[in-house]
Amino acid sequence: MATTSTTTKTKTAPKRATTARKSASTGAKSPSKTTARRTRTTARNETRQAAAANTRAAKVTAAQGRNVAERAALVYVGSVLETRDRALALVTDLPGVRKLERRGTTARTKLERDVRKARTRLERELRGRRREAEKLVKSNRERVESLAGTAKERVSAIA
């Protein structure tokens, strides 16, 4: 089926001025409600994504800070424990440590015993000297009292 078409020329309106063209192009149709809603939804989603990204970044930064602090604490504790272990190993590995410890204990015990003996000896000597001094005072008092009695008798005999 072949159709033949005839073309007829229609008269067109005269061309518009440039200002008219400009206003016609800038005065384009305003966006529809759907377009505005889609733009708002896109902006809201982008904002949510940015907020979620910021939240994730903050969490990662906090985790990194905790990790650094934890590692520093663990290094400190580990070095202290290592030092303690090495010191204990050094002390227990020395061959004569127990012998030296025994000698030290023996020397301390002997010193304590000598101190107790010296104290006992000093207290004994002090008691003896006190006893002698008390005897001397008692005998001197008796002599003075006897001399005083004799002197009284003589004075009364003279008077």
Radius of gyration of the chain (CA): 60
Does the pLDDT at position 12 exceed 80?
no
Q: What does the pLDDT read at residue 28?
A: 67
Name the token pair of 122. 């000093």
Name the token pair of 69. 């602090």
Ranges 48-57, 81-90, 136-145, most confident: 136-145
CB neighbours of 24 closer than 8 A, spacing ≥ 6? 16
Q: What does the pLDDT read at residue 30?
A: 80
Residue 17: pLDDT band (50, 70, 90) is: low
Q: Write down the pTM of the prediction.
A: 0.36
Counting residues of the chain whose pLDDT is more than 90, the rounded percentage is 32
